[in-house]
Homo-oligomer: A and B are copies of this chain.
Amino acid sequence: MELTTVKDALEIILKSAEDFGIEEIDFLQSSGRILQENIVADRDFPPFNRVSMDGIAISSEAFNNGIRSFKIEGIQAAGSPQLSLKNTENCIEAMTGAVLPKNTDAVIQYELLTIENNSATVNLEAVKEFQNVHLKGLDRKQGDVLIPKDILISAAEISVFATVGKEKVKVAKQPKVMIVSTGNELVEVDQIPAEHQIRRSNVYALVSLLEKLQIKAETAHILDDKETLTSTIEGFLNEYDVLLFSGAVSKGKFDFIPEVLNNLGVQKLFHQVKQRPGKPFWFGKKQHKTVFAFPGNPVSTFVSCLKYFYPWYYKSVNLEMPKNEAILSEDFYFKPNLTYFLQVKLTQEEGKLYATPIAGKGSGDLANLVDADAFLELPDDSTNFTKGTIFPIIKFR
Chain A residues near B (Cβ < 8 Å): 27-28, 31, 41, 45-48, 52, 54, 75, 77-82, 93, 95-99, 109-111, 134, 138-140, 146-147, 151-152, 154-167, 183-186, 189-202, 204-205, 207-209, 211-212, 224, 250-255, 296, 298, 302, 322-327, 348, 350-354, 361-362, 364-367, 369-370, 372, 390, 396-397
Shortest Cβ distance from A148 into B: residue: B370
| Contact between chains at A146 and B396 (CB < 8 Å) | no
Shortest Cβ distance from A306 into B: residue: B155
Other contacts beyond A46-B198, A81-B196: 18, CB < 8 A: A31-B208, A46-B364, A78-B183, A78-B224, A78-B254, A79-B185, A80-B184, A80-B196, A82-B196, A95-B252, A109-B251, A139-B361, A139-B362, A158-B208, A159-B366, A160-B201, A165-B190, A324-B348
Shortest Cβ distance from A351 into B: residue: B327
CB < 8 Å neighbour of A364 from B139, B302, B322: B139
| Contact between chains at B27 and A189 (CB < 8 Å) | yes
Ordered nearest first, which 6 A-B pairs have the shortest CB separation?
Answer: A79-B184, A79-B185, A156-B369, A155-B208, A162-B201, A159-B205
CB < 8 Å neighbour of A54 from B48, B189, B250: B250
- Would you give the shortest CB distance from A189 to chain B, in whole angstroms? 5
The complex places the Cα of A151 from the Cα of B372 at a distance, in Å, of: 12
The complex places the Cα of A278 from the Cα of B341 at a distance, in Å, of: 44
A-B contact pairs, 18 of them (CB 8 A): A27-B204, A28-B208, A54-B250, A79-B184, A80-B196, A81-B195, A95-B252, A96-B250, A96-B252, A97-B183, A152-B397, A159-B208, A160-B366, A160-B370, A325-B348, A325-B350, A325-B351, A348-B353
The complex places the Cα of A164 from the Cα of B198 at a distance, in Å, of: 9
Please name all residues of chain B whose beta carbon is closer than 8 Å to the beta carbon of A396 when the two chains form the complex. Answer: 154-156
The complex places the Cα of A69 from the Cα of B207 at a distance, in Å, of: 45
| Contact between chains at A162 and B200 (CB < 8 Å) | yes
CB < 8 Å neighbour of A138 from B41, B82, B212, B361: B361
| Contact between chains at B302 and A156 (CB < 8 Å) | yes
Please name all residues of chain B whose beta carbon is closer than 8 Å to the beta carbon of A397 when the two chains form the complex. Answer: 152, 154
| Contact between chains at B253 and A362 (CB < 8 Å) | no
CB < 8 Å neighbour of A160 from B96, B251, B367: B367
| Contact between chains at B254 and A95 (CB < 8 Å) | yes
The complex places the Cα of A191 from the Cα of B197 at a distance, in Å, of: 59
Question: If A209-B155, A370-B156 touch, does A253 touch B195 (CB 8 Å cutoff)?
Answer: no
Please name all residues of chain B whose beta carbon is closer than 8 Å to the beta carbon of A298 when the two chains form the complex. Answer: 159, 163
CB < 8 Å neighbour of A163 from B47, B146, B198: B198
The complex places the Cα of A229 from the Cα of B158 at a distance, in Å, of: 27
Question: If A325-B350, A365-B139 touch, does A47 touch B193 (CB 8 Å cutoff)?
Answer: yes
- Would you give the shortest CB distance from A150 to chain B, in whole angstroms? 13
Shortest Cβ distance from A51 into B: residue: B252
Please name all residues of chain B whose beta carbon is closer than 8 Å to the beta carbon of A161 when the two chains form the complex. Answer: 189, 204
| Contact between chains at A28 and B207 (CB < 8 Å) | yes
Residue with the highest number of chain B CB atoms closer than 10 Å, among A155, A205, A362, A366: A155
Please name all residues of chain B whose beta carbon is closer than 8 Å to the beta carbon of A252 when the two chains form the complex. Answer: 54, 78, 95-96
- Would you give the shortest CB distance from A285 to chain B, in whole angstroms? 26
- Would you give the shortest CB distance from A213 to chain B, in whole angstroms? 11
- Would you give the shortest CB distance from A169 to chain B, in whole angstroms? 11
The complex places the Cα of A250 from the Cα of B96 at a distance, in Å, of: 9
Please name all residues of chain B whose beta carbon is closer than 8 Å to the beta carbon of A140 when the two chains form the complex. Answer: 361, 365, 367
The complex places the Cα of A177 from the Cα of B322 at a distance, in Å, of: 33
| Contact between chains at A366 and B163 (CB < 8 Å) | yes
Please name all residues of chain B whose beta carbon is closer than 8 Å to the beta carbon of A81 when the two chains form the complex. Answer: 194-196
Question: If A140-B367, A205-B158, A369-B159 touch, does A99 touch B195 (CB 8 Å cutoff)?
Answer: yes
The complex places the Cα of A159 from the Cα of B54 at a distance, in Å, of: 55
